[in-house]
Amino acid sequence: MRPSLLFAALVAGPLLLAGCQTPPPAPTFPEIGFGHQETLRLDVGSIETVEAYRPRLEPPYVDHLFPRPPHEVAARWARERLLAMGGPRRAVVTLRDASVQEVPLPRTGGIKGAFTTDQTERYEARLAADIEIFEPDGRRSAFATAEATRATTVAEDATLAEREQVWFRMTEQLMRDFDAEMERQVRGSLGGYLR
């Protein structure tokens, strides 16, 4: 083999092999569930969940990019925490908001900026929902509402995988806050309809 061909094979071989390596697997995230919590047993024949919030799918909204989008986790909350025990009444859970907005933060300028890792985005999450009890004649007889908010920042050098970890933790914390507040509201405002 000619020296130039041998040199080319020696250089190109490792490069070709490096190009064949598989990328690291995408991170997997567990479901955020509520089956371990005490069920809130309502004196109703049915529970309907209305997802009034629809992801906007455009900046500054980013909730649709989350590994576990808040509106999906909130709908799961309604399925797992609320139980219809029977009777003529019905309950309606309305998910009014499950948004997360990305807010750009100012960066450090000048020479100092070259040596500073800034927090460049803040994520602001809001989850709001109502539970209404309706009598057979359609009259609303009871109402509970809850809201939770969370905010966190991400550094400019965060990878997508690191951002997804932050988003997942944020969703967990948001749901924990919402769950505690909604249970408090249900026990206070809908206490007469609990079994």
- Residue 77, domain member (yes or no): yes
User: Considering its fold, how many domains does the chain have in total?
Assistant: 1
CA distances from 122 to 32, 101, 129, 161, 187 (A): 23, 8, 23, 17, 34
- The predicted structure's pLDDT at residue 96: 98
- The predicted structure's pLDDT at residue 119: 75
- Residue 109, domain member (yes or no): no
* Structural domain of 183: 34-98+126-146+175-193
- Residue 120, domain member (yes or no): no
- The predicted structure's pLDDT at residue 194: 97
Whole-model pTM: value is 0.82
- The predicted structure's pLDDT at residue 114: 64
- Residue 189, domain member (yes or no): yes
Instruction: pLDDT tens for the chain, 195 residues: list them.
Output: 555 554 455 555 555 555 556 655 666 888 898 988 899 999 999 999 999 999 999 999 999 999 999 999 999 999 999 999 999 999 999 999 999 999 999 877 777 656 666 778 999 999 999 999 999 999 999 999 999 999 999 998 889 999 999 999 999 999 999 999 999 999 999 999 999
- Residue 164, domain member (yes or no): no
Q: What share of the chain is helix, strand, coil (3-state, %, to 5)?
A: 35, 30, 35
- Rounded to 5 degrees, φ, ψ at 181 are -70, -45
- Residue 8, domain member (yes or no): no
